[in-house]
Amino acid sequence: MDNFDGASKTDWTDFSFIPQLAYGVPTQQDGMLKFELDNVGAIVGGGIFSASQKTSEAFELKEGRTIEFRVDVIQGGAKDSFAILGFVPKNMSPKTLGGYGFAKSTTDALITKGINKYFVADAGAPAHLKQDNITMVLSLTAKGGNVIIHAQALDKDADNAVLWDRTVVDTPGADPLAGGAADDPPAPYITSGYFTLYLYADYDSGAEEHPYKAYYDNAEVYVTDTTVLDDFDDGVKTGWTDFTFIPPLAYGVPVEQNGQFQFELPNVGDIVGGGIFSASQKTSRLFDLREGERLTFSIDVVQGGAKDSFAILGFVPKDSSPKTLGGYGFAKSTTDVLITKGINKYFVADAGAPAHLKQDNITMTMTLTAKEGSVIIHATALDKDADNAVLWDRTVIDTPGADPLAGGAADNPPAPYITSGYFTLYLYADYDSGAPENPYKAYYDNAIVSAAPPPSNSEPNISPDTTPLAYSNFLPAATDVSFSVVDDKDLSDDNLALSLNGVTYTKVNGLIVTGTGHSRQATLHGKLASNVNYAAKFSVTDSDGVTATKTIYFDTFDADSTAAIVVEVEDYNFSSGGYFDNPTPISEGSGPQDGSYSLQTGVQGVDFNDTRTGPHGVDTRYRNPDPVRMQHTLDFQRSKFVDAGGTDNGVYDYDVGDIVAGEWMNYTRTFPAGSYEVYLRESVVNMVSGDSALELVTGDSTQPDQTVKQLGTFLGVGTGFSYRTFALTDGTGLNKARVNLSGTTTLRLRQITSDASGSGRFQTYLLFLRVGDLVQQQPPIITSLIPAPDTSVETLSPAVSVSIQNNDTAANLGTLKLVINGATVTPLVTPTATGATVSYSFPDLPDKGATNTATVSFKDTLNNTISSTWSFVITYKSMNPAWRVDGTPGTPGWGVHVVQAPAGSNLANSINRAEDQIKNGSTIPRAVDVTDTAVMLNYNKKSTVDNHRTSGVFPDDLPVPGIDPATTGNGLDDFTAEMVAYVRLEKGIYRFGVISDDGYKLSGGRNLHDPDNALGFHTDGVANDRLEFYVPASGLYPMRALWYERGGEGYFELFSEDRATGEQILLNDPDNAGSIKAYMDVVLPTIGLQSSAAVSGPYADEAGAVVDAGAKSVTVSPAGEARFYRLTGTSALHIKGIQLKGGKAVLTYE
C-alpha cells in the first residue's frame, strides 16, 4: 500500500485530538511514517493517541474472505509507546478505536475490539519483546458468521522469526474479554474498513517518554477469498482434466470414490520400468498470481504410499502442460520433501531425518506471494491427527535472476511464474527396483484455494482439454479440432477464432460455435489435410476486450503412406555402415538378427560418436553393446510397436537421450528420388531450446573421418516430457529445408546443444516426407544464426554470427549486408570451403534486457535474394547504481562472520543451507560464532593443521576465523563464512574469479548483508568460476561473499581477472597497485541545504530541511514567490532535479 519512500503522504487521512497543533500527526520522512507524541504530561496529563488511515481504498471483510494487514515497526518507544495496527470500519472514526486492532509495546501485546475491549492482553514475560525492526501482522477471516483474528509479531532481524502469535475468534454472541469487559455490541465486524495506524501514549507520570513514538514502514494488505474447489463427495469428477503417459490404459488416471480423489500407479516395474507420474488439473477455474497478491493451495492426503510414492500439489501455468512439471510444486513422500520449479529443479530437497514424516491424514499447503518481481513460496505439511500441528515448514524465494537449486541444477529460465495457472495434483512413482510399491498411491480430499478476488476484467479460461490432445502425432486427417472456454461474463460467438498454420477460421468460414452465456465450445471439421505438421491457435476475446490465446501442436503424418518414411533414432547404423531399410521391432533382449537393430553393435567413429565409452545396463537395453543411452519412450504409443506385440510382449519404443554437443548417429536408408521435408520427434525437458543438425555424409560411411554437408537444423524448444514434431529448417527456424534424396543415402543426426544439469532431450524418430520431385539449382541456405532467433543470451561480449552454406548456387559475398537495430554495420566475412561465416561484435553494450533486431541479406550466383530478420535479447549481470554508498572510504578490508555447527552435524551441501546457517535466528546450532576482519579473502581451513596447506592459485592461505580444532575441539567441517565490504568499482566490465571448496555465492546489493542479487554462485562441490558483470556508474558498492564448507578440503579465494591478459589479483591486495579496493566502512558525507531569495545570495542554512540519504533527497518548506537552493557537503554533489510536492520543495541529488 505504501513504502513511504515518497516526499509526502498520499491518501492518508490523519486524526488528532488537538488538530490546531497537529498534535501526534505523523510525518513521512526518511522512508518511514513517523508518529511522535511529545510532552504528553504537560499538554495532556494522561493517555492519548493519534492515528492515520489509508482512505484510498476500503477493504471488505465478508464470508470466506481473509484480509491480512502488515506493517513494519522500524523504531518504537518504550513500555508505554503502543504501535497499533487496525481495521477500522468505514462508518467509524479512528477516535472510537472501534474495529479490530493489534497493539504492542516493549512489555504488552493486545488484540482489541475497541477502547478497553481486549480479546488478549498479554503483559507478562511472553510479551516483553523487542519493538524495533519487527513486523506486525493482523489477519482477519470471516467464516461461519465469525471473525477469526490472528495476530503476529515477527523479528525482521531474524528472518521473520515469530516473536508473538495468538489467534482468537469473535463470534456473533458476547465473547469473554480481558478484565471482564463487556463485548457490546457483540456482533463481529463483517464489513468494510480502512487500514489504520495509531500511536497510543499510555502516559505514566513516573516514567514519561520523550517522545512516545512509533516509526512505520511497508504498509501491506493481502486480500484472499477461500473456495472449496472439490470435496470429492459426489463421486463424479467435475471440471478436472487428467494427464497420463499411457492414455489407452488410462494409466494412473485418478478416480473419485469413497469421498476421495484416488491416484494409483500399479505394476510400474512391468509397465514402465522407471519413474512415471500422472496428474489431474482443476481446469474449470484459472487462478491469477499477480504482483502484490497471494495464492494458497491446500489439499488433504488421506492415505499415501511409502518412500517412493510422492503426493504433489502444484501451480501449473496455463501455458504449460502438467507433463512439463513446470510451475511450482510441493512434493512429499514418507522420506522426502521437495519444493519444486520443474523436473529435477528443487529449491528444497529434504531427505534426512526432518523429512521422515507421516503421509496419512495430513494437509499440504503451498502459498505463493508475488512481491517486487519475485515469488515467495511457503510450503507446510500439517498433521490433521494433531490439530494441524506443523510437521514441516519451509519458505523460499524465486527471484528474477538465477537462483541456487539443489544439486546444482540450472534455474533456466530463471524468471518467476507470475502468471495464471491451474490447481494441479500429481502422483509420482519414483520407481526403485529393489523396493517396488504396488501400487504407488496418493488419496486426496478437500481441495481448497484462497486467492485474491478476481479482477473485473478476468481473462477468458481456455481449457487445456482440447481436441486433439496437444502434441498428438499420426492423427487421421478427418480429426476435428475443438476447444472450450469459460469467462466471468457472457461471451459472443463472433469473438472466437481458430487458426491452423496461420489460416484463421471464425463462425463465418467454418468454425462451429455452440454454447450460451459464459461458456462456448468451438469445433472445426474437415479442414485438416494428411501429412501436415500443425500449429493450432485458439483465440477468445471477452466483452471487456481481454483476449486469451492457447496454441497446441499436432501432426497428421501417415506412416503407412508411400510419401512418409519413419526412421527410429535408436536404429542407427551398425558394423561400420550396416543398415536395414524396413526393420521389424522385436522383443527387448532378442537379436541380433536380420531385419532388426536390436542388440546390433555399432562402431564408434563410424556408425556413431558418443562421449560415453561403454554400455550401462538399463540405459542401453535395446543395443546393449553400445554406449548410446536410451530409455523406453514416454511418447504416445504407436501402432507399429503395438502390432508387433506391445509392451506385454516386451516390444518397446525407445528414445535416445543423455545428449552432448558433437555426438552423432548415422542412418543409411534407400530413398525414392525426390525432394523431402524432414521432421524430428523429441521432448526437450528443462531447456529453453535444444538444437540438432541433419547432415549428408558425403564420404565413405564405412570408414572413420567421414566428410559431411549440413542440410538444415532442428530447432527444438522446451516441451517438458511432451514430445513434439520439429521441422528441419534453415538456421532462422522460419524456412523449412527441402532435401534432395535419391537411392542409398547416409544421413547424420548431429547434436549441437548439450543437455544441461537437470535437463535433457529425448529423441524418438525422424520422419522423411516426400513433397515433390528433385529440386534443381538449390540456393544457399543460412545454417545458423547466433544468437538464435527469439532467445535471450547472457553475455558481456555480445556478437552476431551467421553461417552460410552453398548448394547448387553459391553466395555472392560482395552483396552481403548486415543491419543491427536499424543501422548498417561492417561485419567480418570469412569464406569457407562450403560457404562463409559472418561475424560482428557490438562496439558498445546494448541496453540490458532490450530486444535487438538483426537482418542479414545477400544474393546468390543466379541473383536470387536470400535474407533473414531475427530478434534476440542480450542480458547480463550488472550493479545497480542506486546501491552506491556516498561517502569517503574508511578502513581497508573485509568484515568476516563465521558460524560452525557442532561436530558431526553433517549439514546439507548447498547454498540454501549456508544462508539458513548464517542468518540471524537460525535454527542450526552454533558451536562457533565469531566475527573478524581480513585484508584479502584467501582462506584455507587446513592452513594451520596440515603444514600450512595452500590451495587454489594464491599462496599464503589464511586460517578461517574460529575454525581451529585445537582450540574449539569442534573439527573443520559444517561452517559458513559471510564476508562483506564496500568495493570501489569504476564504470566498465569486470571479471571476478572464485575458487572454492565447497560452494559460494557472490552478491551486490542495497546493503552489505543483502542476500539477493547474486552475481554468481556454486552449490554442492568444488568451484573454479569466472563471474562477469557490468558497472554502469563508478562508486562504492556493497558486496557480500558467502562461502560454506561441508567436509573434506575447504578453501576460498576471491580475485579479479583481466579480461584481456588473464592476470589475476586478489581483491584488496595491498602489495598490488592494480588491485580492486575493498573497505569495511564508509564515512558518510554531511549534507546541508542553503537557500536565498536571489541566485547571487546571500545563502543561509535551512534548519528545517530533511535529508533522506537513502532516497538521496532533501525536503524543505519553501518561502516566498521564488527560492534558490544549493547543497553543501563533505563530498562532491550534483543536484538532479527539484519539484514541488504537497507544498514542499524536494531536491534529488547524486
Cβ–Cβ < 8 Å for 480, 524: yes
For the segment 232-251, the average pLDDT, to the nearest whole number, is 93
Same domain, 1095 and 1058: no
**Does residue 7 fall inside a structural domain?**
no
pLDDT at 241: 94
CATH number, domain containing residue 302: 2.60.120.560
| Strand partners for 432 | none
Residue 109's nearest CA partner among 47, 168, 34 is 168
Same domain, 677 and 823: no
How many domains is the chain partitioned into structurally?
7
DSSP letters, 411-473, are --S-S---SEEEEEEEEEE---TTS--SSEEEEEEEEEEEEPPPPTTPPPEE-S--BS-TT--
For the segment 931-952, the average pLDDT, to the nearest whole number, is 86
pLDDT at 197: 98
pLDDT at 1012: 84
Same domain, 72 and 183: yes
* Residue pLDDT, tens place only, 1104-1114: 888 887 678 89
- Select from 747, 772, 797 the last residue of a domain: 772
Same domain, 440 and 494: no
Same domain, 865 and 936: no
pLDDT at 6: 82
Same domain, 35 and 126: yes
* Residue pLDDT, tens place only, 117-132: 999 999 989 999 999 9
**Does residue 902 fall inside a structural domain?**
yes
For the segment 13-24, the average pLDDT, to the nearest whole number, is 94
pLDDT at 870: 94
In which band, very low, low, confident or very high, does the pLDDT at 605 lie, cut at 50, 70 and 90?
Answer: very high
For the segment 2-29, the average pLDDT, to the nearest whole number, is 92
**Does residue 876 fall inside a structural domain?**
no
State the cell numbers at 379.
510450503
For the segment 59-66, the average pLDDT, to the nearest whole number, is 96
In which band, very low, low, confident or very high, does the pLDDT at 618 lie, cut at 50, 70 and 90?
Answer: confident
Cβ–Cβ < 8 Å for 812, 842: no
**Does residue 288 fall inside a structural domain?**
yes
Same domain, 471 and 582: no
Same domain, 237 and 221: no
* Residue pLDDT, tens place only, 413-428: 889 999 999 999 999 9
Residue 159's nearest CA partner among 915, 716, 893, 707 is 915
pLDDT at residue 563 greater than cutoff 80: yes
CATH number, domain containing residue 815: 2.60.40
pLDDT at 1142: 66
- Select from 191, 208, 226 the last residue of a domain: 226
**Does residue 2 fall inside a structural domain?**
no
CATH number, domain containing residue 1046: 2.60.120.1560
pLDDT at 1110: 66
For the segment 171-180, the average pLDDT, to the nearest whole number, is 94
Residue 1053: other Cβ atoms inside 10 A: 24
Instruction: Give the residue with greater pLDDT, 934 vs 159.
Output: 934
Domain that holds residue 667: 564-772
pLDDT at residue 442 greater than cutoff 90: yes
Same domain, 648 and 698: yes
Average pLDDT of the residues of the chain: 94
Residue 1014's nearest CA partner among 188, 329, 417, 414 is 414
**Does residue 779 fall inside a structural domain?**
no
* Residue pLDDT, tens place only, 878-905: 999 989 998 889 999 999 999 999 999 9
pLDDT at residue 1017 greater than cutoff 80: yes
pLDDT at residue 40 greater than cutoff 70: yes
Strands (E), 592-738: 608-609, 630-632, 654-656, 664-685, 689-697, 708-717, 724-729
| Most confidently modeled range among 905-919, 1052-1066, 1102-1116 | 1052-1066
Same domain, 1068 and 1114: no
Instruction: Give the residue with greater pLDDT, 1108 vs 230.
Output: 230
pLDDT at 19: 93
Lowest average pLDDT, out of 335-344, 650-659, 909-918, 1083-1092, goes to 1083-1092
- Select from 853, 871, 889 the last residue of a domain: 871
Same domain, 532 and 615: no
Residue 408: other Cβ atoms inside 10 A: 18
Q: How far apart are the first and last CA of the chain?
A: 27
* Residue pLDDT, tens place only, 533-546: 999 999 999 999 99
- Residue owning grid cell 560464532: 929
* Residue pLDDT, tens place only, 770-810: 999 998 888 999 999 999 898 899 999 999 999 999 999 99
DSSP letters, 15-73, are E-SSGGGTTT--EEETTEEEEEE--HHHHTSS-EEEEEEEEEEEEE--TTEEEEEEEEE
**Does residue 6 fall inside a structural domain?**
no
In which band, very low, low, confident or very high, does the pLDDT at 401 lie, cut at 50, 70 and 90?
Answer: confident
Cβ–Cβ < 8 Å for 1037, 982: yes
CATH number, domain containing residue 764: 2.60.120.260
Rounded to an integer, what distance in angstroms lies between the CA atom of residue 18 and that of residue 178?
30
**Does residue 602 fall inside a structural domain?**
yes
Lowest average pLDDT, out of 331-335, 439-443, 486-490, goes to 486-490
Rounded to an integer, what distance in angstroms lies between the CA atom of residue 953 and that of residue 951?
7
pLDDT at residue 947 greater than cutoff 70: no
In which band, very low, low, confident or very high, does the pLDDT at 446 lie, cut at 50, 70 and 90?
Answer: very high
pLDDT at residue 1120 greater than cutoff 90: no
CATH number, domain containing residue 51: 2.60.120
Residue 1019: other Cβ atoms inside 10 A: 23
For the segment 573-593, the average pLDDT, to the nearest whole number, is 96
Same domain, 819 and 889: no
* Residue pLDDT, tens place only, 292-309: 999 999 999 999 999 999
